[in-house]
Chain A
Amino acid sequence: MERDGRSDRRHHRQALSRAPLPRPATGSGGVAAIEAFLDRWLDVGRRLARPLARAGGLLVLAAAFLVAVEVALRGLFAVSLGGADELSGYALAIATSWGLPFVLLERGHVRVDSFYTRLPTRLVAALDVLALAVLTAFLALLGQRAGLVLADTLAFGSRATTPLSTPLWIPQGLWFAGFVLHLLVALPLASRALLALLRGDSATVLRLAGSRTLAEEAAAERRAGP
């Protein structure tokens, strides 16, 4: 079973990082060079998004242990470490923002695809690019606001109003970093998809930005199985 899982994963990783690279550009030399550059960039992004997500997962796991220890100590010895709830909250916020690049590249964001996917392929591809662009813009805006929160914290040297009085720039800085990294992947991804769209290469657009079909989703769920 383990072996199955591993080979599945290897297969999956191959599918992601060594997937047939987008068709060589048929456009002018300059555009082709830009596309090749973006592809290389995205390759690096794919390789980094996975460990970043896993690091977020480790934070969640650490939070689980911390909170469990807190409950056990409280239950058995009526003592409290204090701060487990606060720290696990930070872990959640950071894990979420660190998961953003991975979810983006895995096309994991939830979309209502029962309607628009029935349109002609060119239109579907155009809406996929639009969806990617709007998502990028929204998360960039959110990231900018996250940056403002961090800037305020730094300016006032804010600490949490808790017994730990955590210097807030630490968790907020790590949180903000996730948004920045997301933008560093989302911008080239959106540009690459847009270039493909303009060239009429709908297949590449769907591969980069298309909605995951329910069948794909279910297959992922099954892969996770025992």
Chain B
Amino acid sequence: MIATALGVLLVLLAAGLPVAAALGVLAVVLDASFSAVPLTVAAGEIAWNTGKDFLLVAIPLFVLMGEILLRAGVAERMYGALSLWLAWLPGGLMHANIGACALFAATSGSSVATAATVGTVALPQARTFGYDERLFAGSLAAGGTLGILIPPSINIILYAVLTDSSIPRLYLAALLPGVLLALGFMVVVAVASGLGSRPTGTAEVPTRRERLAALVHLLPPLFIFFLVVGSIYLGWATPTEAASLGVIGALLLAAAAGRLSGSMLGRALKSTVKTSTMILVIVIAAAILNFVLSAIGLTRQLTDTITGLGLSPWAMFVAMVFFYLVLGCFMETLSMMITTVPVVVPVMTALGFDPVWLGVVIIVLVEAALITPPVGLNLFVVQSLRPDGRIEEVIRGVLPFLSAMLVLIGLLALVPDLALWLPRQVMG
């Protein structure tokens, strides 16, 4: 039964069927082959109840918030300010790239949006100041992935919905690893540029007065972060409610910057519906499939089979990391999460792993998937922002940053409290 299911799914996906349709077909096939009573009769109820789930309302709201911020011009001024503060480090402006990505990630739930927003502002600087363009592009593609680790994060919401865990707890757990990964990226930048002979840095050294004056441009992203993530941590708002506050805050910022207009809002709304429809169709198809999987007992059979293998939990953990690294080369990340998490996480928690900790590890693996070729969307986003050059250069430049992600996963395995300490302190 497991082999049938996996085989059918792999063939359907490799043949290029839309992920949602492939999941739906698998549900129908499994239902017809293994169930005594027709299960997909319930599909309508499942679709309705999933489709109107208040938790999932956070997804379009966060997408909308990002679409508005993207067009509000927040990123240009923020990047300028950060470059005044960070460009003296070995690796120069690339530290501003990482810093701006980390800060923008604190207002954005999407890695692609983070890479696109910061990349648009930062990339022109690479040639002006004669940076190694490969590493420069790599720092943006990798830095952008912080978008889904540093809260808010759309992927974490999905993980929480799929595994029935707490979004605030996951957001707290991801915060410290997010900061660590940003620092790790900076170390990579410093080491890689220390070894190279290319010039780095900017034209002039800023005065202290300039630096202090620039700090005001960090306020808009911090405002959104405290509005959204702060209201969740303080218990004022649920994640969905916080997302709605974020939309209002983003609208205010766009209006203050003089960027708010009917056509701008219209484009943001259209884009939002496109993205969230695409996500939710897959979520609904997966919900139907998961209903069939548990009804025919496949989920439990899989858990039993794998735990019956007698592998040590850590061997399973290594296998899981490997599985996601390979899968991430070929699959779009949201659909990868939606299809695998409902199956992988129950197995791993049965082996004794903490689902919140596991969530952080999986999000880091999803970040790796965003920058591993051939299907690493962030690579293509950054490449599309470059005036010329080949994608292979971005791929070369991003590789050193992948090592920081693997180190972080190692650290999380050695010291689970990197993720679990903060939620324990705050939420008990």
Contact = CB atoms under 8 A, between A and B. Distances in A.
Given A60-B64, A60-B272, A112-B330, A9 B267 contact: yes
A67 B244 contact: yes
A135 B20 contact: yes
B241 A67 contact: yes
Given A54-B269, A96-B277, A70 B44 contact: no
Residue among A61, A113, A146, A171 with the highest chain B CB neighbour number at 10 A: A61
Given A128-B16, A225-B116, A135 B21 contact: yes
B132 interface: no
A104 B231 CA distance: 37
B38 to A, nearest CB: 12
A112 B18 CA distance: 7
Contacts of B245: 68, 71
Given A71-B241, A214-B377, A224-B267, A53 B13 contact: no
B269 A58 contact: yes
Contact of A219 (B45, B73, B384): B384
A138 B25 contact: yes
Interface string A57-86: 110110111111011000100000000011
Residue among A65, A103, A124, A127 with the highest chain B CB neighbour number at 10 A: A103
Interface residues of A, number: 80
A99 B330 CA distance: 26
B17 A89 contact: no
B40 to A, nearest CB: 8
Nearest to B242: A71
Contact of B331 (A112, A116, A226): A112
B364 interface: no
Nearest to B117: A225
Given A92-B52, A146-B48, A134 B273 contact: no
A56 B269 CA distance: 8
B266 interface: yes
A149 B116 contact: no
A117 interface: yes
B413 interface: no
A130 B47 CA distance: 24
Contacts of B40: 141, 145
A18 interface: no
A116 B15 CA distance: 5
Contacts of A108: 274, 277-278
Nearest to A89: B52
Interface in B1-37: 13-21, 24-25, 28
A98 B281 CA distance: 12
A1 B259 CA distance: 9
B18 A135 contact: yes
Nearest to B19: A110
Interface stretch (B55-63, B178-186, B296-304): B55-63
B384 to A, nearest CB: 4
A88 B76 contact: no
Contacts of B70: 224-226
A131 B21 contact: yes
A52 B381 CA distance: 28
A106 B241 CA distance: 30
A138 B67 CA distance: 30
Interface string A94-111: 011111101100101111
Interface of B: 13-21, 24-25, 28, 40-41, 43-45, 47-48, 51-54, 56-57, 60-61, 64, 67, 70-73, 75-76, 112-113, 116-117, 120-121, 231, 236-237, 240-241, 243-245, 247-248, 259, 261, 263-274, 276-278, 280-282, 284-285, 329-332, 334-335, 374-375, 377, 380-381, 383-385
9 contacts: A63-B57, A88-B57, A92-B56, A93-B51, A102-B270, A102-B274, A128-B16, A141-B43, A145-B43
Interface of A: 1-2, 5-6, 9, 50, 53-54, 56-58, 60-61, 63-68, 70-71, 75, 85-86, 88-93, 95-100, 102-103, 106, 108-117, 124, 127-128, 130-131, 134-135, 137-139, 141-142, 145-149, 171-172, 175, 211, 214-215, 217-219, 221-222, 224-226
Given A65-B244, A85-B240, A145-B44, 13 more contacts: A53-B270, A63-B244, A66-B244, A89-B57, A91-B57, A109-B278, A111-B18, A127-B15, A138-B20, A145-B41, A147-B44, A221-B116, A226-B76
